[in-house]
Amino acid sequence: MNVKYGTTGVPIILNDSLAYLECKVVRKIDVDTHWLFIGELVDAQMLDDNNKPMTYSYYRETKKGVAPKNAPTYIDKSKLDRLTESVKSGKHKCTVCGYIYDESKEEIKFSDLPDHWKCPVCAAGKEDFTEV
Ligand code: FE
């Protein structure tokens, strides 16, 4: 067991740790779902430069961890894919008549058009367009 004794003599177990921070708690805040501790740094050391820390990004990408839908870090992948596609092509097709709204030929991005905007050919609503 890899043990370090903190400045107050309290043992700190460092098994499988890449680094440690020892802080003196100067404030404790109740934020409803958990406590937030504000600390003053007392000591710190990097123990292992050869391995990468398991970040939240690593957890989500490698371990397939998904944030709950109500979490601020939640990403709706289907919305993100649609957004990315529309940014790439800049073209939106009317599903009623086939008219293509091409952002490269217009002054306004499709997403910036007002909700009451209509297809110039068949008068279908903006909601009848899909990104192509
Ligand atoms: Fe149309």
Interval between CA 99 and ligand 1 midpoint (Å) = 5
Q: Name residue, tokens 């961890």.
A: 65
Interval between CA 70 and ligand 1 midpoint (Å) = 37
Residues 12-53: tens digit of each pLDDT: 888 888 998 999 999 999 988 889 999 999 999 998 889 888
Neighbours of ion ligand 1 (CB under 5 A): 94, 96-97, 99, 119, 121-122, 124
Interval between CA 89 and ligand 1 midpoint (Å) = 19
Task: Label residues 83-95 b or e (16+ Cβ within 10 Å = b).
Answer: eeebeeebbbbbe
Residues 57-80: tens digit of each pLDDT: 777 777 676 777 888 777 787 887
pTM of the predicted structure, to 2 decimals: 0.41
